[in-house]
Structure 1
Amino acid sequence: MLFDDVQGSRRQARDLTPATWQRYFASAQEVRLESGDVFHVYRAGSAGPLLVLLHGGGYSGLTWSLFTEEIMSRVECQVLAIDLRGHGETATADEHDLSMERLVSDVNGVMCALFGSDAPPTVLVGHSMGGALAVHTAHAWSAGPLVGLVVIDVVEGTALDALSAMHTFLRGRPDHFRSVQNAIEWCLKSGAVRNSESARVSVPGQLKNLRTGVPATRDIASGLASAGGGSPTAGGAHPPADTIAEEEEEGQEKDQESDEPQTVAHSPPSPTADQPVYTWRIDLASTEPHWQGWFRGLSPLFLSAPAPKVLLLAGIDRLDRELSVGQMQGKFQIQVVPRSGHVVHEDVPDRVAGIVATFLIRQRLTHALDGFQT
């Protein structure tokens, strides 16, 4: 009984306060392209190879916060995490054109604006949609030497098979939240992310204020996002107990097939002058015309990408036949990170950083810091 009380106290005491980027990155800046589109980026480091970090659909550059802190402590490198079109604090004329061609053009445009054609040796690192973007960008790279490619938990066959369930997944999550804290709590309880520190800094980048349209990250800076309470459902009523998975202790293993939340969506609560209501920064359902283009033909493109490659997966079952053959032929390295969900770099950032740091050192791209051992 005493053990149960202690465990319950730990769950109740979990800090859900939104966190800002300053602990993890050295700077945040706006990059204006010739088109007039303004891309928000986060940066860290001033020497060594440049890691260009590309997030998955619905996330933002803040998804790389803990990974950045971990990788910077292991090897000498630079980090550039981009809020892609329609995400985070990036502002573009057409936020719904998430075609792969447009996204590749955006990444090259940001690199050109920052470095011209003289970027440092660059490693493209991408998760999910961003992993597919990294592969496509590798074939259209124009910003300097491309020296590595890291793709996290995206495989063509598995991704295409999962698209049929995407609408069910999107309908199964709440449309609105009474506060950013509520959104953080939901993401943790649903298993969307399993690391509470990462959720505190990453989830705000996925939200916007429904009343003002302002990204939640800006509300946090003004202290507005911490106001309010209630639940992510209408009228402040809590959803039935069986609609959200019970919260797990940090590091406790969950079923790898249970990553997607099952909560039923509800109609939005009404925002008031003193009570913001938050919704998702991007309507992912509206990007459906581009889903096939993200992943179709990804495996051969990955295998033929002109740089040393590593594929990092949450489970070996995600490997399709073409990649299995390529891996046996030594065309790329593969690393499996068990006991993590789809957002591997958020769930276990230290392990992912260790894998990437080892990759950089073995490719002789940098050197270890503070006695880090590959």
Structure 2
Amino acid sequence: MSALQRKLQGASGLPPKVTPYSRPQAKKKDYSTTAWSNYYDSEKKIQIDESNSVFHMYRKGTEGPIIVFLHGGGFSGLSWAVLSKSLCNLIHCQCIAFDQRGHGQTSTENDTDLSAERLSEDVGEFVNGLISESSSTASVILVGHSMGGAIAIHAAAKNKIPNLVGLIVIDVVEGSAIESLHSMQGVLKNRPQSFENAEKATEWCVRTGYVRNLESAKVSMIGQLKRLVEPIQVSTRHYSDSSSSTEIPQPQMSSITEEESDESSESSSCCDNVAVSSKTSPPNLPQNSKTHYYTWRIDLSKTSKYWQGWFKGMSSMFLSVDVPKMLMLAGVDRLDAQLTTAQMQGKFQMQVLSKTGHAVHEDAPDKVAEAIAGFLVRHKFAEPASDFKRPFPAC
């Protein structure tokens, strides 16, 4: 045996131990909630009529045209947070996103009236109040997603918005929207009804594709929830982690703000894939438990009588609005015959953002910001704040 071999064997006379290869553990994703103040400059509550109705809003930017964002059903003003920050980096504008009736931190005397007429009246009163309060003569652009897009069309078509110069609608078309309504109750029934904490809600949001962008989900998901307190023995579907669900006692409910929490879609049909439990033995949850459970801020299943009213006649109303318009879609298959003909005639600009889900503005906020900024600069509604890529229309 050579001297080298003896050295390698060491004093024990045995070959040196070889440390087995082990895969590095994947870094666990952070699903904790991000503060709204990382994206908006301020938040405020506005009383828009003589009742006790108070609408909660977020603002980004202090100069340029006023862009009023209307979120979809179940979402909140936080849905526009990442987009607003990105948009203000591209053009000089004021981004205003408010929680619609029955959503987020807005509180009205009748949170259950989500008719198209009532919601469009709210938008008109909100914009009028906003302009009167600031004595502003700035131009107004309405941007709406899903239900919010339908309401933006109603408000614009009925001349409820002062100083309106532009209308942008995101991923909502009359034909496909009405066709999907028959499946919506099943979608809502199959998603979790409660979450262990806001972090688990965000995890569910991203894992199911409800919102694909982790950054956006971390700031927006909390706006869709309210905290549960004082547990009682009523079981409900509960999401606890990515692979299992358990039944928990359903507590009474109280509204929450983002600061009270401890904590990133294809289409709304992605909720069909959410795991739910059929177990029937809920755990004992002590009354003094410090664990907070969360549920949805609004029970959308109870608003079904208004769904047809949101979307019926929407295509004709959209085309009747006499301002520059843009329709932004996640896929061209969503376009109906009437809008296809109108688009070919150049009656509105169309922008298709592939590889996104229904929450287009959350899944691809930078691309949506570029499309909106390009639209506003092209029509001379806003001045660019930086050089940016301007997507070619209808592609």
SS in 2 for 1:66: helix
| 1:205 aligned onto 2:232 | no
The Cα of 1:35 is off from its aligned counterpart by 1.9
Q: In 2, distance between residues paired with 1:257 and 1:306? A: 31
Q: Rg larger in 1 or in 2?
A: 2
Aligned to 2:33: 18
TM-score by length of 1: 0.86
Residues 1:275 and 1:124: Cα distance change in structure 2 (over 3 Å):
same
Q: Residue 262 of structure 1 corresponds to which residue in structure 2?
A: 273
- Deviates most, 16-25 or 308-317: 16-25
Note the 1:134-153 alignment, pairs <5 A. 134-153=152-171
> How far 1:5 moved relative to its partner?
5.0
User: Equivalent of 1:278, from 294, 299, 302?
Assistant: 294
Letter in 2 for 1:120: A
- Confirm or deny: 8 A CA contact 1:256 1:340 kept in the other structure: no
- 339-348 or 261-270: bigger deviation: 261-270
Residues 1:263 and 1:256: Cα distance change in structure 2 (over 3 Å): closer
Q: Which residue of 2 aligns with 1:234?
A: none
Return the offset for 1:113.
Answer: 2.0
Question: Following TM superposition, by how much is the alpha carbon of 1:20 offset from its aligned partner in structure 2, in angstroms?
Answer: 1.5
Instruction: Report Cα offsets for 1:154-206 as digits up to 9, x if no partner.
Output: 00000000000001100110000000000000011111010001011000000
Which residue pairs with 2:262 in the alignment?
A: 225
The residue that corresponds to 1:29 in the other structure is 44
**Compared with structure 1, are the counterparts of its residues 18 and 329 closer, same or farther at alpha carbon in structure 2 (3 Å cutoff)?**
same
Separation of aligned partners in 2, 1:132 and 1:110: 17
Write the letter of the residue equivalent to 2:214: S
Letter in 2 for 1:36: N
**Does residue 1:215 correspond to 2:255, yes or no?**
yes
| Maintained 8 Å contact 2:99/2:106 | yes
Q: Distance in 2 between matches of 1:59 and 1:257?
A: 12
Moved over 3 A (4+): 212-216, 254-261, 264-273
Q: Which residue of 2 aligns with 1:191?
A: 209
- Per the TM alignment, residue 257 of structure 1 is displaced from its structure 2 partner at its CA by 9.4
Deviations along 1:80-130, one digit per CA (max 9) or x if unpaired, are 101000000000111110001000111111122221385520100000000
Q: 1:297 aligns with which of 313, 323, 332?
A: 313
| CA displacement at 1:142 relative to structure 2 | 4.0
Please give the alpha-carbon distance, in whole angstroms, between the structure 1 residues aligned to 2:202 and 2:266.
Answer: 21
1:242-287 per-residue CA deviation (whole Å, 9 max, x = no partner) reads: xxxxxxxx9xxx9779744422545887584311110000000000
* Stretch moving more, 107-116 or 298-307: 107-116
User: Cα distance 1:286–1:61, how it changes in 2: closer, same or farther (>3 A)?
Assistant: same
Q: Which runs of no fewer than 5 residues in structure 1 stay unpaired?
A: 227-249
CA distance, structure 1, for counterparts of residue 106 and residue 294 of structure 2: 18
Secondary structure of 2:295's partner?
strand
* Mapped partners of 1:110, 1:213: distance in 2: 28
Mapped contact 1:337–1:344 kept (Cα < 8 A): yes
| C-alpha contact (below 8 Å) 2:173/2:314 kept by paired residues | yes
Q: Which moved more, 1:280-289 or 1:256-265?
A: 256-265
Report the AA paired with residue 259 of structure 2. Answer: A
Counterpart in the other structure of 2:175: 157
Name structure 2 gaps, 5 residues minimum.
1-21, 230-251, 391-395
Partner residue in 2 for 1:240: none
Q: In the alignment, what sits opposite 2:353?
A: 337
2:190 aligns with one of 172, 193, 216: 172
For the structure 1 residues 78 and 366, does the alpha-carbon distance in structure 2 shift closer, same or farther, using more than 3 Å as the test?
same
Whether the 8 Å CA contact 1:126–1:152 is kept in 2: the answer is yes
Q: What's the TM-score, normalizing by structure 2?
A: 0.81
Change (3 A) 1:46 1:255: closer
Show the 5 A alignment for 1:334-373: 334-373=350-389
User: 61-70 vs 107-116, which deviates more?
Assistant: 107-116
Percent identity of paired positions between Structure 1 and Structure 2: 44
Judging changes above 3 Å, is the alpha-carbon distance between structure 1 residues 143 and 336 closer, same or farther for their aligned structure 2 residues?
Answer: closer
Contact 1:74 1:354 survives alignment (8 Å): yes
Q: 1:89 to 1:256 in 2, by over 3 A?
A: closer
CA distance in 1, matches of 2:92, 2:180: 37
